[in-house]
C-alpha cells in the first residue's frame, strides 16, 4: 500500500472544559441509541460526496490482520431502479434459493424474539397476519430499498472464514453509525442474500464474491408509522456476565 492510499485521519477530538469527556460520550451514545432500521424514506436525494465520506469513516473499522475483507456496491438513480426490477422479477419467478437466515428449528428464545418482531413490524404497517399478498408486497419493498435514494450491496470473498464475516459486520455497523451521525438513516437487509446470482450478474461481481446483505440509506420519513415502531432490547444483565469486578 502506498502512502497515497492511506486514509487521511481527521483531527482527534480532545476533551476540553467546553467539550468534556462526558459530553463526547453522550454524543456517541445518542448516535448509537438513535440508530433505527428505517423502512420509509423521503424523496430527498443523497449526494455522492456524503456517501463517500460515510464509507471513508467506516473503512476505519477493525479487521483481523487488517485484511479489510469488505466490498460494497453503492447504487442510485437508474442503476438502483434496474437492480430493483431484476430482483422483483427473480422473487416473483421463484427462481432464487430459499432464504437461510435462521436455522430450523430456531431455539425458543430466538424464535420468541422473531415472532415479537414480526408482530410489531406488520402491525405498524397495518398488515394482518393472514394477509399473504400484503406481506409479499412489503417484502418486495426490500428490493426497492424501501424508497431510499441510495442502496448498498455488501459482499465478501466466499473463501474467507467466519471471523472475516465478523469484520464485515463491524464495517456495516460503522457505515450505519457514520451515517446516523450525519442525520442519515439506514436499514440493513439480509433479504438480498438469497438473490446473489442476479445481483452478481447485474453488478459484475467477481466469481469469488458472495452477496452478504444489502442496506437502504437516505433521510427517513419521521411521520411513517413503521419508523416509529421501537424494538425492545434485552438488559445488559441478561446477555453479559461481568466477572472479577469488586463488589
Q: What's the confidence (pLDDT) of residue 10?
A: 67
Q: Which residues contact 138 (CB under 8 A, 6 or more apart)?
A: 122, 125, 127
Q: What's the confidence (pLDDT) of residue 2?
A: 47
186 three-state secondary structure: strand
Q: What are phi and psi of 71, to 5 degrees?
A: -145, 140
- Give the domain 34-99+143-226 fold: NADH Oxidase (3.40.109)
Using the predicted structure, report yes or no on whether residue 1 has a pLDDT greater than 60.
no
Strands (DSSP E) found in the chain: 70-76, 150-157, 185-189, 209-218
Segment 200-219, tens digit of pLDDT: 999 999 999 999 999 999 99
Segment 49-80, tens digit of pLDDT: 999 999 999 999 999 999 999 999 999 999 99
- Mean pLDDT (the chain) is 94
SS3 content of the chain, % helix, strand, coil (to 5): 50, 15, 35
Q: What's the confidence (pLDDT) of residue 222?
A: 96
More confident residue, 97 or 117: 117
Segment 39-52, tens digit of pLDDT: 999 999 999 999 99
State if pTM tops 0.85. Answer: yes
CA atoms within 13 A on the CB side of 53: 13
- What are the residue ranges spanned by the domains of the chain? 34-99+143-226
Q: What's the confidence (pLDDT) of residue 8?
A: 64
Rounded Cα gap, residues 153 and 212, in angstroms: 8
Amino acid at each position: 500500500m502506498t502512502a497515497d492510499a492511506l486514509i487521511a485521519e481527521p483531527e482527534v477530538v480532545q476533551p476540553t472544559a467546553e467539550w468534556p469527556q462526558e459530553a463526547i460520550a453522550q454524543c456517541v451514545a445518542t448516535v448509537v441509541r438513535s440508530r433505527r432500521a428505517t423502512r420509509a424514506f423521503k424523496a430527498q436525494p443523497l449526494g455522492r460526496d456524503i456517501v463517500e465520506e460515510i464509507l471513508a469513516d467506516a473503512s476505519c473499522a477493525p479487521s483481523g490482520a487488517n485484511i479489510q475483507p469488505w466490498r460494497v456496491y453503492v447504487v442510485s438513480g437508474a442503476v438502483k431502479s434496474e437492480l430493483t426490477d431484476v430482483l422483483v422479477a427473480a422473487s416473483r419467478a421463484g427462481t432464487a434459493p430459499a432464504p437461510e437466515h435462521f436455522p430450523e428449528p430456531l431455539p425458543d428464545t430466538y424464535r420468541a424474539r422473531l415472532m415479537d418482531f414480526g408482530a410489531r413490524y406488520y402491525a405498524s404497517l397495518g398488515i394482518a397476519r393472514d394477509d399473504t399478498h400484503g406481506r409479499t408486497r412489503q417484502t418486495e419493498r426490500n428490493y426497492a430499498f424501501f424508497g431510499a435514494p441510495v442502496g448498498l450491496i455488501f459482499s465478501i470473498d466466499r473463501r474467507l472464514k467466519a471471523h472475516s464475516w465478523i469484520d464485515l459486520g463491524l464495517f456495516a455497523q460503522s457505515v450505519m453509525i457514520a451515517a446516523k451521525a450525519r442525520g442519515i438513516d439506514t436499514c440493513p437487509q439480509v433479504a438480498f442474500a438469497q438473490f446473489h446470482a442476479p445481483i452478481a450478474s447485474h453488478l459484475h461481481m467477481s466469481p469469488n464474491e458472495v452477496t452478504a446483505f444489502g442496506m437502504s440509506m437516505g433521510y427517513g420519513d419521521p411521520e411513517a408509522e413503521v419508523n416509529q415502531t421501537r424494538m425492545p432490547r434485552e438488559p445488559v444483565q441478561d446477555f453479559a456476565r461481568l466477572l472479577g469486578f469488586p463488589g
